[in-house]
Structure 1
């Protein structure tokens, strides 16, 4: 029997082998399942690399592992109780110096960040763990800055101080001893693709395949509330809305499946270019962390100036009120 009689094509994509019919369709389904499985594994791996659980951190600190833990909260909150061995870092330490930008709250320069890390005794190889008590927003802002300039060995404590306290782990009142000063320099791969400026936002608003995402409260988005520091109330015309704190619960970040459902429901999918903004680039940094580190989105930027900068420019338009689509 010749080969042409063993294997011969038939209609509808079927293949007949020695009198038996096999279908290509199951092979396609298997391939799709394999691709999905690989994608899910990548998400799980990315989540594990981006987050550290309270139990893990507690164990590593007990073992004396060389981890630099940073408490990203106001000094008063820090002194009322913090994770043992954690050093306190608050916004002025990683914000731009007065006069560097026309508006407040912008990112610190690379030089200022190097001085901060030197003061903390860090080296380019130091593993840094960040936490706060603000749904990881302040921690994510510092994470974003470190990533921007090229320190990539960073994790966020999942659930922050609240999750740590819920599990009954110890807290300290006294700060640890000041570390030995180093001469820190950023040597890792920088991530300028995480930064968006005013011009980027204007261009994105003209792109049908792009999204400008407002992650403030609904009251801020509709203009019913104006936070201190902003110059006008309202939102960027054409922006979508999704509050940043929908990504977390009391235990920490939601699982990737739930997160994906939340963003997909709003049309925020990985095939689109996304710029996130809030009041001053803090809450939006948390959303960028979620999209890039927990969901694997590749084209997400944080608008550093956010609503403070947009509202400061009086020639820029704004909208108020409830969107027609709501």
Structure 2
């Protein structure tokens, strides 16, 4: 990752704290990616109060294609994603910071897509809106209509993906969902309960401390060392629909572990009834 990001705590870190962001706020593009699974879009929350200058990004409309065989949140069409990022002011030569109010679970999707499509300088605001407010930082109401950006989707993809045909050949396949969904004890969203055979469970909550901030890199490496991801030849992450799995990818990136994303995730996997399903630990 580019080491010229203003105020970056480390050249390889995908994270930026609120203090560091405040120091460079005028020099970065900030995107508000507020979203909650099963809840209304975050546009109203954005209008009520957001980081100064932050444009709203609609996860369902801007960061995903319509639901289908590829799952509930397939990757967006490249042209549509490029247009959406230009509309919210993303430029290829200007750093981007993404945030939400869901401990980074939605913002991670924006981070991943921008990195995947070639933007070199992207950070996730560690702790999101809550951390920003906890420091007494200002928020402002109203809609933000930035000057259109010039971001271009790159033909060369920076972040690896795996599909249903090869996901089970990954050395360590990480399931980012809550433990009870992984084991199949409950499934509130998708039609089939359980997990992909061979997957290991590292729920997104394991990436965070009691404040909702990401654990330090050394602690994150310990979290993923428990499932062998720190020494594996290949690692990939999935969740229910490919959104919160990016949170685990962010955490592993902070820990120095490269991981692919299975965009279809569980919702895409179970769209084909011939694919095997496991339950329990």
Query: Do the two structures share a fold, i.e. TM-score over 0.5?
Result: yes
Is residue 227 from structure 1 mapped to residue 205 from structure 2 by the alignment?
no
What secondary structure does 1:262 align onto? helix
Q: 2:164 aligns with which of 164, 176, 198?
A: 198
Q: Secondary structure at the match of 2:174?
A: strand
Q: Give the structure 2 partner of residue 98 of structure 1.
A: 66
- Conserved 8 A contact 1:148-1:195: no
Q: Does 1:185 align with 2:149?
A: no
- 1:182 offset after TM fit, Å? 4.2
Query: Partner of 1:288: helix, strand, or coil?
Result: helix
Given the alignment, which residue of 110, 119, 122 partners 2:90? 122
Deviation at 1:148, TM superposition (A): 1.1
Which one of 205, 216, 220 corresponds to residue 177 of structure 2? Answer: 216
For normalisation by structure 2, the TM-score amounts to 0.87
The Cα shift of 1:181 comes to: 2.6
- Offset at 1:121? 2.7
TM-score (norm 1): 0.75
Q: Which residue of 2 aligns with 1:29?
A: none
Deviations 1:156-180 (A, max 9, x none): 111111111111111122123x122
Deviations 1:298-319 (A, max 9, x none): 3x11100000011111111112
Counterpart-to-counterpart distance in 2, 1:146 and 1:216? 23
**Which residue is 1:45 aligned to?**
10
Would the aligned equivalents of 2:172 and 2:227 in 1 still touch at CA under 8 Å?
Answer: no
Does residue 218 of structure 2 align to residue 257 of structure 1?
A: yes
Rounded to whole Å, the distance in 2 between the matches of 1:310 and 1:226 is: 14
Say whether 1:239 aligns with 2:204. Answer: no
d(CA) in 1 for partners of 2:118 and 2:137?
32
The answer for unaligned runs of 5 or more in structure 2 is 1-8, 35-41
Q: Residues 1-326 of structure 1 correspond to what in structure 2 (within 5 A)? A: 45-47=10-12, 49-61=13-25, 65-73=26-34, 74-98=42-66, 102-176=70-144, 178-187=145-154, 190-192=157-159, 194-204=160-170, 210-228=171-189, 230-249=190-209, 250=211, 252-292=213-253, 294-298=254-258, 300-320=259-279, 322-323=280-281
For 2:84 and 2:172, locate their aligned partners in 1 and report how far apart those are by CA, in whole Å: 34
Structure 1: how far apart are the matches of 2:212 and 2:135?
Answer: 10
Cα displacement string for residues 265-324 of structure 1 (whole angstroms, at most 9, x for unaligned residues): 2322233311111001111111111212x12123x111000000111111111122x32x
8 Å Cα contact 1:129/1:155 also seen in 2: yes
Q: Which has the larger radius of gyration?
A: 1
Partner Cα distance (1:133, 1:99) in 2 = 24
Question: Is the Cα contact below 8 Å between 2:240 and 2:265 reproduced in 1?
Answer: yes
Structure of higher RCO (CA pairs closer than 8 Å, 6+ residues apart): 2
| Count of residue correspondences | 265
- Asked if 2 retains the 8 angstrom alpha-carbon contact of 1:135 and 1:245, the reply is no
User: Following the alignment from structure 2 to structure 1, what is the Cα–Cα distance between the partners of residues 108 and 262?
Assistant: 14
The alpha-carbon deviation at position 186 of structure 1 amounts to 2.9
Higher share of residues assigned strand: 1
SS of residue paired to 1:312: coil
Indicate the structure with greater helix content: 1
Q: Distance in 2 between matches of 1:53 and 1:99?
A: 34
Cα-to-partner distance string for 1:133-162 (whole Å, 9 max, x where unaligned): 222111111111111111121111111111
What is the CA RMSD across the aligned residues, in angstroms? 2.1
Please tell me whether the aligned partners of residues 98 and 104 of structure 1 are also in contact (alpha carbons under 8 angstroms): yes
Q: Is the 8 A contact 1:94 1:107 kept in 2?
A: no
